[in-house]
Chain A
Amino acid sequence: DAKTTQPNSMESNEEEPVHLPCNHSTISGTDYIHWYRQLPSQGPEYVIHGLTSNVNNRMASLAIAEDRKSSTLILHRATLRDAAVYYCILRDGDFGNEKLTFGTGTRLTIIP
């Protein structure tokens, strides 16, 4: 599996935007970039995914660099409920049933 690199932890103030970076310099052409998060004492939860173009959904936005070697998950207005560990994961788009390989992720703390 291609590797991703994320900061161990980040802090943000409530109601401000949060930009969570992910580096994936060895990404292959068929790898999709997925983001999951894990709230305290819960199972992981899908956030968003993309291939080349930026993506938006009700939870977040995903900005993908033109060379695809990095991406940024954007929470537009962080709430206390967004405090979680965020995982950036690469998955081969040709095998949609492929397992998820979790790293250590970024622990996001929201300051009231």
Chain B
Amino acid sequence: EPEVTQTPSHQVTQMGQEVILRCVPISNHLYFYWYRQILGQKVEFLVSFYNNEISEKSEIFDDQFSVERPDGSNFTLKIRSTKLEDSAMYFCASSDLRGYSYEQYFGPGTRLTVT
């Protein structure tokens, strides 16, 4: 069964450093998303991406964040200058609406620890 993959599974970085989290969505999917979950809290939406542009973003997704689909398979989330409060699990998701399926398929997540 096709699945969303994410790398790395765990990233440790120092405050102020740039990090790039990588995702490979399911190959025929058209919509891509990033969510995050701070330990013990709710899953929060960050951004959705379609047709090579951001379709929606939350208040969390400020100028420190950016997303990119650099090639036909990868989808990345970049945090330019990490803060302690960026420590969280980051989940990538994708969905395919061509079959009118509204399911979002989530990856296993990247645990980001900012020290």
Cβ of A13 within 8 Å of any chain B Cβ, yes or no, is no
Query: For residue B32, which residue of chain A has the nearest CB?
Result: A97
Q: Is the CB of A97 within 8 A of B31?
A: yes
- With A38-B43, A97-B97, A102-B42: A43-B102 Cβ-Cβ less than 8 Å: no
Chosen A-B contacts, 7 in total, with CB atoms closer than 8 Å, are A34-B102, A43-B4, A43-B93, A91-B102, A96-B97, A97-B55, A104-B42
Q: Is the CB of B42 within 8 A of A100?
A: no
Query: For residue A93, which residue of chain B has the nearest CB?
Result: B102
Interface size on A, residues (CB 8 A): 21
Interface size on B, residues (CB 8 A): 26
- With A43-B91, A44-B91, A99-B48: A32-B102 Cβ-Cβ less than 8 Å: yes
Dominant SS among interface residues on chain B: strand
Query: Which of B12-20, B62-70, B71-79, B105-113 contacts the other chain?
Result: B105-113
Q: Is the CB of A100 within 8 A of B104?
A: yes
Cβ of A54 within 8 Å of any chain B Cβ, yes or no, is no
When distances are taken between beta carbons in the complex, the residues of chain A under 8 Å from B35 are: 100
Q: Is the CB of B102 within 8 A of A42?
A: no
